[in-house]
Amino acid sequence: MYGLPAEFDGGFLVGRRLEQICINENQISLHFNADAAITIENGYSYGVAGLPVSGATTFVPALHANLKDLLGRAVSRVESTSDGTLALFFENGHALRCFDDPHYESYRIKEGARVIIV
């Protein structure tokens, strides 16, 4: 809805370990060490990095069953695109992509007190 800021640098997520995944009726929250989090409120995809994303986008509250495979894993790379997609690549070779929907708040990124709403 608000878009990912053009100057966004996700480098602060590199090296952070995913410690907790919380779900509720409208959100999936990913909590990383050192006070960082991403809360997904709309569409996302999950799979093995390097493979084309050919599957359908999953929408919250549905939880992709293998997201648990990211627990305890560190982020190895972060990419963002001008269409608002945020891609997290993990040390186990898996990738999580958060998609921006121009009509709804789609996801939130938190680093300490700073919050970016996309």
Q: Each residue of 42-64: pLDDT tens digit?
A: 999 998 877 655 456 888 877 77
3.30.70, 3.20.190, 1.10.15, 2.30.30: CATH of 10-117: 3.20.190
Q: Label residue 100 by pLDDT band (50, 70, 90).
A: very high
More confident residue, 107 or 53: 107
Output the pLDDT for position 57. 85
Region 24-47: what's the mean pLDDT? Answer: 95
For 67-88, the pLDDT digits (tens) are: 899 999 999 999 999 999 999 9
pLDDT at 78: 97
**For the chain, which residues make up each domain, given as ranges?**
10-117
Average of per-residue pLDDT values in the chain:
91
36 or 56, greater pLDDT: 36
**CA-CA distance, 107 to 1, in Å (whole number)?**
9
pLDDT at 52: 58
The reported pLDDT for the residue numbered 55 is: 53
What CA–CA distance (Å, rounded) separates 107 from 116?
A: 8
